[in-house]
Amino acid sequence: MPYRFKKCVQAFKDFSTLYHSSDKPYRCEDCGKGFNRRSYLTQHKKNHDGEKPYNCNECGKAFISTSKLTEHQRTHSDERPYKCIECEKDFKYNTGLTQHQRIHTGEKPYKCTECGKAFTRISSFTEHQSVHSDERPYECKECGKGFKCSRALIVHQKIHRDERPYECKERGKGFKYNGVLIQHQNIHTGEKLYKCTECGKAFIDFSVLTQHYRIHIDERPYECKECGKGFKFRGGLIRHQRIHRDETIQM
């Protein structure tokens, strides 16, 4: 049943949108934002004065409202009160449910003005925008290299430390990247996921498929700096370079 405002004929699906902007007499002196209830204004003003009277009993973190505290406390529990009516997947927070529901509806509210590509999440949209600029705001403190998105920086930082969070359950061997672990696990399973589209031959490792594919094309990426001759494989270049070394020794 839609809600109707007594002063006009406009109908609303949500009670929270029922009020007109002129019916918000309680205005914040700091930012000018208006509220239809004094209690809402009182709650809002805590954002400006930094007051956080509600403390978490688990970790001591403080919050400006009981609702924020309640939301935070779910990090310490398995409570997931927000459930999707389509697939029954549950979430700890309403924002997580809202984002998830876009999978079912196909809604992509965040649209790039440069290329028109749309996104379901604002974080994905923000990262995408860096594609259209040379800005690299995420800088590695170790080497100074810049990256367009935070995820690329996180992956890069593993180079500077011996962190290997992805572990093989068969041998206990650790890897820096999940993709490398997946390729390694194929050794134990014998699964050959990477198939050549030309001849149908399959390989465990994508890099081996890439090398194999050169048999079918005339790509020769390994070039000799001495004579300019090209080779399909690195091994062929190394063998060829011995010719130049032997010539130097004979001279």
Residue with tokens 């996180």: 154
Secondary structure (3-state) at 139: strand
Euclidean distance between CA atoms 206 and 185, whole angstroms: 13
Select the highest-mean-pLDDT range: 3-17, 51-65, 178-192.
51-65
Instruction: Give domain status of residue 244, yes or no.
Output: no
Put simply, whether the predicted model's pTM sits higher than 0.85 gets the answer: no
Average of per-residue pLDDT across 3-25: 50
Residue 209: closest CA among 189, 193, 221: 193
**Domain-embedded: residue 193:** no
Tell me, yes or no, whether 20 lies in a domain.
Answer: yes
Give mean pLDDT, residues 77-106. Answer: 87
Question: Per the domain annotation, does 112 fall within a domain?
Answer: no
Using alpha carbons, list the distances in angstroms from residue 26 to 39, 67, 101: 9, 21, 35
Question: Residue 9: its pLDDT value, please?
Answer: 45
Domain assignment present for residue 19? The answer is yes
Number of domains in the chain: 1
- Tell me the CATH number at 64: 3.30.160.60
Domain that holds residue 56: 14-78
Give the number of residues written for the chain. Answer: 251
- Within a domain: 62: yes
Check the CA dihedral 29-35-38-42 and report its sign.
negative
> What whole-number distance in Å separates Cα of residue 172 and Cα of residue 166?
9
In this predicted structure, the answer to whether residue 14 has a pLDDT above a threshold of 50 is no
DSSP 77: S
Residue 51 lies in a domain: yes
pLDDT at 93: 83
Residue 24 lies in a domain: yes
Region class of 250: left (phi > 0), else alpha (psi between -120 and 50), else beta:
alpha
Per the CB < 8 A criterion, the answer to whether 162 and 175 are in contact is: no
Note the pLDDT of residue 18.
46
84 and 100 Cβ atoms separated by less than 8 Å: yes
Question: Which of 9-13, 208-212, 238-242 is predicted with the least confidence, judged by mean pLDDT?
Answer: 9-13
- The single residue listed with the structure tokens 């459930």 is 83
